[in-house]
Structure 1
Amino acid sequence: MIRWKLPLLLLVVFGYLQYALWCGKNNVYDYRDNVEMLVNLRADNEKLKARNEQMFAEINDLQRGYEAIEERARSHLGMVKANESFYRIIIDSDTKKQ
């Protein structure tokens, strides 16, 4: 009688563990989704780190020298120096098509 109870008990335990592995909470599919999400978050994090480094470099340029400030004033604010002429070239839409 004991001979068949132990294998049956082991089979039931094995079945429960398989169910938990494939269909229970934190199963194999959840693990795979979490790994994929982690890879995506790390890629996004690397992009944000690169952007932050670029911003810190720009901040250092602005703090150290007037050339970066002058370039920023010219490009963003449209400022010109004294005794300097500013020319704006407007392309005619008719000549642009040809």
Structure 2
Amino acid sequence: MVNRIVPFVLVILLVVIQAQMWFGRGSLPNVTALERKVEAQHAANAKARLVNDQLASEVEDLRAGLGMVEEKARMELGMVRPNEIFVQVNPR
């Protein structure tokens, strides 16, 4: 009788392990979806890193000299020096 139970238990264990592999937390579809999420996050991190590098460069330029401050004031605030004429061109 024990000889009949052991193969049956082994088959049940094999089915359980296979079910976990195909449908469980470590299943192939789940792993593939997680890999896609990781790739998307790497892309988002690369974009954020680029923005951070640009901002760090801008901060360093602002600390280094007044040229960048003047350029920012001209571009964002419309600053003009005395005896200058401000001309705005609208692209079509």
The yes-or-no answer on 1:55 pairing with 2:55 is yes
Q: CA offsets per residue over residues 24-82 of structure 1, 9 Å max, x none?
A: 23422222111110110011011101100100100110111111111111111111111
Relative distance call for 1:48 and 1:89 in structure 2 (3 A) is closer
The yes-or-no answer on 1:27 pairing with 2:45 is no
Instruction: Name the % identity.
Output: 28
Q: 1:71 aligns to what?
A: 71
1:19 CA drift (Å): 0.8
**How many residue pairs end up in the alignment?**
92
| Structure 1: stretches of 5+ with no match in the other structure | none
| Structure 2: stretches of 5+ with no match in the other structure | none
- What amino acid is aligned across from residue 13 of structure 1 in structure 2? L
TM-score by length of 2: 0.83
Q: 1:10 aligns to what?
A: 10
Q: Considering only aligned residues, what root-mean-square deviation do their CA atoms show, in Å? A: 2.0
Mapped partners of 2:46, 2:32: distance in 1: 21
1:12 CA drift (Å): 1.7
1:12 partner SS: helix
Relative distance call for 1:42 and 1:79 in structure 2 (3 A) is same
